[in-house]
Chains A and B, each alone.
Chain A
Amino acid sequence: MTLELKNIVKAFKSDVVLDGVSLSVATGETLVLFGPSGAGKTVLLRLIAGVIDPDEGTIRIAGRDMAGVEPEDRGIGMAFQNFALFPHMDATENIAAPLTAKKMGKQQIAHTVEKVAKMLKIDHVLHHKPKELSNGQKQRTALARALSGEPDILLLDDPLRNVDAKLRFEMRLELPRLLKSQQATVIYVTQDYKEAMALGDRIAVMNGHGIQQIGTPRDIYMSPANLEIARLFGDPVINLLDVTPERSERGVQVMLSGQPLVIDAGFAHAIGQSCVLGIRPEALQFVPEGTPGAIPVQIETEAPLNEKTVTLALTKNRREVMISRPSGTEAPSSGTAWVIADVTNIHLFDRTSGDRIEPGQSAAVQGAA
C-alpha cells in the first residue's frame, strides 16, 4: 500500500509541531523517520494511525483519503515505544488482538499467534501477563502484535528505544529480514542513526517542525542537506572547519592550516562566502612528510572503534580533527603527522544558514571551454 502525506500541519494549542509535512512511501518500502526527540516523529505516526487528526493537509493510504477514517479501518499495525501492551491480557491475547478484530476462527488465531511468536522467539512466554515479561520480551510481544494482523502499513515507533544494548544490536540485525518478509510498507521512527542506516530504504530527517531531507541512506550520508544532518549522521562525527573559498590559478581553493586545498571548480559561486568545510574522518588520510598539500597535525590520542581506528589530532590552529582508518593499517600514533583530504569527498555549507552548497555545473562547462 502506498502512503501519501500532503502538507500536514499539526499544532497543540499554539505549539506548532508539524508545519507542512509532505511525504510519500511506496508499497513495500521501509522509510525511516529520523530526528531528535521533539521533532514530531511520533506525532506524525499518530496522524497516520488516525488516533489524532491533522489540522490541515491530507493523508492517503492506497490513494484513499483518510480524513474521518477511524484508526481501526486503516489497515495499520503499530508498535509503540513504550510497548503499550494490554496489562490485563496475556501475551497470546495481546498478539491476537488484531486477529480477533478480524473475527477469525479460534484455531486460526492460535495458529497465527504461534507462528508469529515462534518467529520472534517468544513462544515460551505466551501465557505470561505483560508484567511478568522482561523488557525484551515485552518489546517482541509488542512487535508480534503489530505484525500478527499482516497489516498493509506498519508503524514502528522507536521499538528498540527501551531495550538494552545487546538486544538492540541483535534486533538491528534481525529486523530488516523480518520487515522484508512482511512485504508491508514500513515507517520506522528512530533517534539512532545506525538503526536508520541499517533499516531504511530511505530516510526522512525530521527537525524543527518538518522534514529537512529525504533520501537513501547513501544520499543522506554522501550529501547531507545541512550542517545539522551532516553532524547527526556518521560516527565519528564529521570534521567541520571554517573556511572561505578563494580563487586560485587551479580553480577554487580553501586554506587549511596554511596549506591550499583545491576543491571542485563548481564551487566558484561560493568564493568569498563564509563557509564551513565538512570532511568525514574517513576522507582524511595519513601521508608521508612532504606530500604536496599535506597538512601537519599534532596527534593527541588514538582509539580503536571496532573495525576502524580513530585518531584525534590538533591542527596548527589548535582545532580538533578526527582521522579514521581501517583497523590494522599502519599510522603514526604520536608526534607530528601529515594528513591529506580526499577532495572528492568533502562538503561545503554556508556558515550562517547551515545549508549545503552544491557545486554548480559551471565546473564542467568552464572546463570544457
Chain B
Amino acid sequence: MSDATTSAPRARRFKVSRQLLPYLLSLPALLTCIGILIPFLTAVWYSLQRYRLSQPWNRGFNWGQNYLNFMTDSAFWNTLKVSMTYAFATVALELLLGLGIALLLQKRNRFNNFVSIMLLMPLMTAPALASLMWKLMTNPGFGILSYFATLLGFEDFRWASDPKTAMMTVVIVDIWVYTPFIMILLLAGLRSLPKQPFEAAALDGVPRPFVFWRITLPMLTPFLLTATLFRVIESIQQFDIIYAMTQGGPGDKLTVFQVEAYLNFFQSTNVGRSAALLMILWAITYTLSNIFIKNWLRLREKQRGNA
C-alpha cells in the first residue's frame, strides 16, 4: 500500500483522500448530530401551528399566533418570572458561596484537597436523585429538616409543598448540587493565578480587602464570567430538580420554561404552545451561549498557553 514505487495516478488518489480525510473522520459524529437537527426544525414548525394532540382535526398553521398569545397570557409571564427568579437566585447565591469556599480552600494542602474532593459529591449526584434525597429530608412525617424547622419554632413547615417556600426549597437543592461546580472552577482559577502580584502586595503591606478587590477579583474575572454564564445557561433550563421535587407545583409556583413545556406537551397536549415556549427559551440560551463560548474560548486559549 505505502510503497515508494507508486505511479503518478496513484499519487493523485492520495491527494484526494488527504483533503477528504478530516471530513471522513468527523462525518459520523456530524451525522449523529444532524439527526438531532431535524427535530429542532420540527419544533420550529410546530411552534407556528395550532396543534393539540387531543384535537388532530383542528391542526393548522396559525403562524405567529402562539407567540402573539404569550403577550396576553399570564401563565407565560409567570413562567418567565419563575425561570428568571430561579436562575438569578441560584446563580447569585452559588457564586457567592462558591467564591467563598474557593477562597477558604485556596491554599494547597492535604486537608483542603480532601475537602474539595468531598465537596464534589453533590455535583456527582444526579440532580433528579438529589431532589429525591431532599424530598425525603423534608418529608413532613419524618424528614430531618422538617424536624429541625420545628425545633427552630416553625410549626408545620412544609418546604416544597408550601407555595411560600417552594421556590426556596428547590433553590437550596440547586445550590447543594451546583455550588461545587463554581467552587472547583474558581479554585482552579485561583490556584493558576501568578504569585508575584500577591507577594509584592504582601511585601508592601497592602491591606487584604484591597488585595482581594483590586488584585484577586480582577484576575479571577475570566473564571467568574465563564462559571456564571455556564450556570445561567443551565439554570434557566433547569428541569430535573424542579420536576423531581414538585412537577412544577404547588399550583404554578415552579412552572419554569422546560417544566411548563413538558406539562403543556404531555398533560394538556398543546404541542404548539409547548414548542413556542421552548423556542423562546432557546432564543435566550442561544444568545447567552454565544457570549459564553466566546469568553470560554478566550479562557481556554489563555489557560492552554500557560500550560
Q: Measuring CB to CB, which residues of chain A are less than 8 angstroms from any residue of chain B?
A: 65, 67-70, 72-75, 101
Contact = CB atoms under 8 A, between A and B. Distances in A.
B3 interface: yes
Which 6 interchain pairs have the tightest Cβ spacing? A68-B15, A68-B11, A75-B4, A69-B11, A68-B14, A72-B2
B3 A73 contact: yes
17 contacts: A65-B8, A67-B11, A67-B15, A68-B11, A68-B14, A68-B15, A68-B18, A69-B6, A69-B11, A69-B14, A70-B2, A70-B14, A70-B18, A73-B4, A73-B6, A75-B4, A101-B2
Nearest to B3: A73
Contacts of B4: 73-75
A70 B14 CA distance: 7
Contacts of B3: 73
A68 B8 CA distance: 9
B127 to A, nearest CB: 39
Contacts of A68: 11-12, 14-15, 18
Given A65-B8, A70-B18, A75-B4, 14 more contacts: A65-B11, A67-B15, A68-B12, A68-B15, A68-B18, A69-B6, A69-B14, A70-B2, A70-B14, A73-B2, A73-B4, A73-B6, A74-B4, A101-B2
A134 B2 CA distance: 34
Nearest to A61: B4
A184 to B, nearest CB: 14
Q: Taking each of A65, A67, A74, A75, which has the highest tally of chain B beta carbons within 10 Å of its own beta carbon?
A: A67
A101 B1 CA distance: 11
Q: Taking each of B8, B11, B15, which has the highest tally of chain A beta carbons within 10 Å of its own beta carbon?
A: B11
A67 B14 CA distance: 10
A139 B15 CA distance: 33
Contacts of B15: 67-68
A70 B8 CA distance: 13
A69 B11 CA distance: 5
Contacts of A72: 2
Q: Is chain B's binding surface mostly helix, strand, loop or mixed?
A: helix
Nearest to B11: A68
Nearest to A101: B2
B216 to A, nearest CB: 36
Q: Taking each of A67, A72, A73, A101, which has the highest tally of chain B beta carbons within 10 Å of its own beta carbon?
A: A73
Q: Taking each of B4, B11, B12, which has the highest tally of chain A beta carbons within 10 Å of its own beta carbon?
A: B4
A151 to B, nearest CB: 10
Interface in B51-80: none
Contacts of A67: 11, 15
A69 B3 CA distance: 11
A152 to B, nearest CB: 9
Contacts of B18: 68, 70
Q: Taking each of A65, A70, A74, A101, which has the highest tally of chain B beta carbons within 10 Å of its own beta carbon?
A: A70
A259 B208 CA distance: 74
B7 to A, nearest CB: 9
Contacts of B8: 65
A155 B23 CA distance: 31
Contacts of A70: 2, 14, 18
Contacts of A74: 4
A101 B2 CA distance: 9
Nearest to A70: B14
Interface in B9-30: 11-12, 14-15, 18
A112 to B, nearest CB: 18
A96 B8 CA distance: 29
Nearest to A74: B4
B47 to A, nearest CB: 42
Contacts of A65: 8, 11
B18 to A, nearest CB: 7
Nearest to B6: A73
A68 B11 CA distance: 6
A45 B4 CA distance: 19
Contacts of A69: 6, 11, 14
A73 B15 CA distance: 13
Q: Taking each of A69, A72, A75, which has the highest tally of chain B beta carbons within 10 Å of its own beta carbon?
A: A69
Contacts of B2: 70, 72-73, 101
A70 B12 CA distance: 10
A136 B306 CA distance: 28
A73 B4 CA distance: 5
B4 to A, nearest CB: 5
Contacts of A73: 2-4, 6, 14
A74 B6 CA distance: 10
A74 B11 CA distance: 11
A254 to B, nearest CB: 54
Interface string B242-273: 00000000000000000000000000000000
A347 B15 CA distance: 49
Nearest to A66: B11
B20 to A, nearest CB: 13
A68 B13 CA distance: 8
B33 to A, nearest CB: 30
A101 B4 CA distance: 12
A113 to B, nearest CB: 21
Nearest to B13: A68
A75 B5 CA distance: 10
B8 to A, nearest CB: 7
A197 to B, nearest CB: 33
Contacts of A101: 2
A65 B6 CA distance: 11
